[in-house]
Amino acid sequence: MTHLAPGAPALTPLSRFCLIAGPALIAGYGIIRLLSDSGTPGPGWTAGHLALFCGLALFGPVFLGLRRLAPAGSPVRRRVAAVSSVVALAGLAASLAQAAIDLVVGFRAADGPEMSDLFEQVQSHAAVHLVVYSAGPLLFYAGLVALVAALVSRRGPVTGWTLAAILLGIVVMGVSLDLMPVGGMLFLQALAFVGRTDRARVADAQPVRGAGQYG
């Protein structure tokens, strides 16, 4: 008969990969942005925004994976995690739309002034500006913070350090886009720790073979 130790595995291999790759690509976008001419179409703009789009897309499995970590014995936490993940996914959709628009504008514009004109045309629509450029992307961060906060416990895998690093990363990126590499690395430190801790839980939960009913 087999026995599983407490703390059965919750994160899928895809979620663990995305916990690292998503923030790393966002940090990569920030680095490319610093090394290229910001606001000018070209290889730097395209490469940076492709990294941003892919990095954001990988947060879909991150949100779903974190939601699965909600403790089964706490209905309130599970409800908060469920609602927060929906909010975060809505913000993710808005953020992806913004990155996609940036890519399209970069492909269509011949130079910086034309790029500015195209952005003005897009953002002149009130609904687009609200959903894609102002309120929408904020849901990404609000949902992420609420989701992580609902999972914090002293025994992990989501700890107070995870929440603190996420909050600091959001503040840093909000101060200046030039600090995107720092914010992305803070996200990486916070979320990669969740992945490492979850792998430890998987190891602890491996079946003990040959044990009887009473061990």
At residue 6, what are phi and psi to the nearest 5 degrees? -60, 150
pLDDT of residue 38: 80
pLDDT of residue 201: 53
**pTM of the entire predicted model:** 0.86
pLDDT of residue 155: 73
Low-confidence ranges of the chain (pLDDT < 50): 1-9, 202-215
Token code pair at residue 15: 């979620």
Q: Other CB atoms closer than 10 Å to residue 19's CB: what's the count?
A: 27
At residue 101, what are phi and psi to the nearest 5 degrees? -60, -40
Strand residue runs (E) in the chain:
none
Indicate the residue type of 32. I
Peptide bond into 157 cis (omega under 30): yes
Buried b (16+ CB within 10 A) or exposed e, 83-100: ebbebbbbbbbbbbbbbe
Indicate the residue type of 109. A
